[in-house]
Each structure stands twice: as structure tokens, then as C-alpha cells.
Amino acid sequence: MTNEPWGRGRDSLRIVLITGGSTPERDVALAGAGEVMRALRVAGHRVVVVDTASGELDPEHEGRALALRVGHAPPGEDELARLREREDVPGLARLRPVRNADLAFLVLHGLDGEGGLVQAVLELAGLPYTGSDLLGSALAMAKGSAKRVLQGAGIPTPRFVLLEGEEPGTRRDEITALGFPLIVKPSRVGSSVGLRRAKDFAAAAAAVRAAGKHDRRVLVEEMLPGREFTVGVLGDASGRGIEPLGVGEIVTPGGLFDYHAKYTPGIAEEIFPAPVSASLAAVLQDLAVATHRALGLRDFSRVDFRLDARGAPSVLEANTLPGMTTRSLLPQSAAVTGLSFPDLCDRIARLAARRI
């Protein structure tokens, strides 16, 4: 398919692919957007790409902007500050590709893209978009709030302490009660940016201060010792047509699946389908669907798990806009069920198109 903005194609949709942003996960979003763009065009759709920080990308700039670029450190604060200066998320609704589209396909990561702001703008513009609505997006992105909802729904999740600007010392007893080592991460940042493991309270306090540079809210969480898994989900929150995808296992040296391990080739081993019993796979898939439903998510999500010392799974978090390169976890989870990457992207687009 050509790069003609709104080409012609039978049964095709006019899709504005919204990506980029000014968060530490910008490069991850752009890498995924390049592959989604090609997949949607293979599926016959008409696609125009918009970067929230630089506007519409013409065919000349698409290739350079969407070239695969993960595997190094996230953008620095100076670069992100420059991007934020020119980013106009509320202005998305005024852009010609957005006004002329049938729907928006979101390939964004971080607070603005996953946390409800872009979703709110598109709601006001009356444009259907892929993924969860603004409420589900905001809830899943706020990890502490999401975990409280999971607890209320009877879904197991590791014990945690949520700090909202406090010094770690003021909550020392609660943090220490989680046991060591423990995990520290910003509450509303994706791609495991800022995630650290702490072996004692001094290390935990330092990790909290480092995570606080990314988000005022910091989650301190019990680190479960068992294996790590992930399950994709397709469907909405109505209770009809919610489908779990394949179970994958993530194996990393030292057991820490942080930004570096996620995006540096050769560090993490991602095994699909996971070598687990049918009974454990069924439990993980049931919990993934229950999590998707409890948080009010729609279209698609990816739910991550870790086993405790007894081998029982707990939900770490749900991702409403998970990575979308062909080697990302959701597409690998879909491939286990026989769903190709172009078919996955097409199906996600058509789930959103039902709301036209």
C-alpha cells in the first residue's frame, strides 16, 4: 500500500495512528507505531501518522521517525523537556487527519497516552479510538489504585505501600513489613522505567527518591520469588467476547524485568507458549480476564503475573496500551492462538470501529 494519506480500499478504515509523545517511553511508542502502520496497511486500511509532539508525519518523515529504536536508555530529561514545549495534546482534535479519520489507533506509552488525557481529547472530538476509555486507562495506569480494585475483586496481587510524596522514613515500618528484597517503581510510568529492586531499607529509600523523579506517586511492592508470566486479552468490559490469549513466560537474569532487560536483545528470554501445566495456564488466563473486567478495560490489554513461594499467581499489573512491535509480549501472546500481527492490529481496529 502507498503512503497516500487516504488511499482507496474496499472495506478499509481511515485510521489516524497517534504515537510519539514526550514521556520516557517515546522511543518504544515510535518503534511500535512503525510496525502497526505497516500491518494496518497490509490489512488494507488507510493510515496517517500523527506524533503528539510534532504533528502529522508526511511520507518523507515516516520512515525516519518510526525506525526501530529501542534497546538503549530512554530519552533524557532535556530532550523530553523540548518535546513537552511543543506538544499540544488538546490540539489533536483540530488536526486534519484526526478530523477526517474513522478512528484513532493509539500506540502511546506513559501517563498522557495511557493515563486518560489523549482518550479524553478524542472523546470530546467524538472520534472512536482503540483501547480502554479514559476511566479504565486512568485506573490501570495508577498502579496503586488498580491494585486496590483488584483486592476488592478478590484478585491476588502482591502486598504494597503507596507513597504520595512522603519521605520513605515516615512509612518505614510498613515498608519493612513487606520483606526484602522488594520492588520500587513509579506508580504512573510504563515500560518498567524507574523500576528497581531494593535489598534493604536504605536501598529502598534511595530507589523511592529515584522513582520520584518520574512520578510523585511511588509504589513499593513485595517481590514474589517465583516465575513471571504474561497473558494478552482481547475484548471489552461488557462480559461478552472477552478472550484470553496465550500464556508467555519471562525469564531474566536475577529475575528483574526492567527497561534495560525489556529492550536490550539477548537479556530476557520470552517463551511462548510458556512451559506450564494446562491447569496453571487456565488459572492465569482466567485471572487475566477477571483483571480486564474488574478494571473496566476494553478492546485489549496485557496482564502480568508472578508466582509466590507456593506457586500461586498474583497480578502485578494490567497494561492498557502494551508494546506493539512484532516482538512485543501482546503480539507474541496472540501468535500462540494463531493470530498474526496484521490480523491482531486489524482486529483491534475493528473492535474500535464498532463504536463508530
257 pLDDT tier (thresholds 50, 70, 90): low
Q: Which tens digits make up the pLDDT trace of 169-189?
A: 999 999 999 999 999 998 877
What pLDDT, on the 0 to 100 scale, is given for residue 255?
66
Averaged over 297-324, what is the pLDDT? 96
Statement: residue 192 has pLDDT above 70? no
8-state DSSP, 94: G
Q: Is 191 assigned a catalytic role?
A: yes
Q: Which pLDDT value is given to residue 284?
A: 98
The tens digit of pLDDT for each residue in 226-254 reads 999 999 999 865 546 899 999 999 998 77
Is residue 304 among the annotated active site residues?
yes
- The yes-or-no answer on residue 259 being catalytic is no
Cα angle at 49 between 44 and 53, to 5 degrees?
165
In this structure, what is the dihedral angle of CA atoms 35, 38, 42, 44, given to the nearest 10 degrees? 120
Share of the chain above pLDDT 70, in %: 87
Taking the alpha carbons of 283, 289, 290, 295 in that order, is the dihedral positive or negative?
positive
Give the pLDDT of residue 193: 65
Q: Is 263 annotated in the active site?
A: yes
Q: Respond yes or no: is residue 3 known to be catalytic.
A: no
Among candidate residues 112, 228, 299, 304, the one labeled active-site is 304
Average pLDDT of the segment spanning 130-149? 95
- Catalytic annotation, pick one of 263, 293, 299, 346: 263
Q: What is the pLDDT of residue 285?
A: 98
Of the chain, the percentage scoring pLDDT greater than 90 comes to 66
* Residue 180, CA atoms < 13 Å, CB-side half-sphere: 12
Q: Which amino acid, residue 166?
A: E
* pLDDT tens sequence across 111-126: 878 889 999 999 999 9
Is residue 129 part of the annotated active site? The answer reads no
Q: Is the pLDDT of residue 283 over 50?
A: yes
Which stretches within the chain are classed as H helix? Answer: 26-42, 59-65, 77-86, 96-100, 111-114, 117-125, 134-141, 143-152, 172-177, 201-211, 259-263, 278-294, 329-336, 341-353
Pairing assessment for the beta strands 313-319 and 300-307 based on DSSP bridges: antiparallel
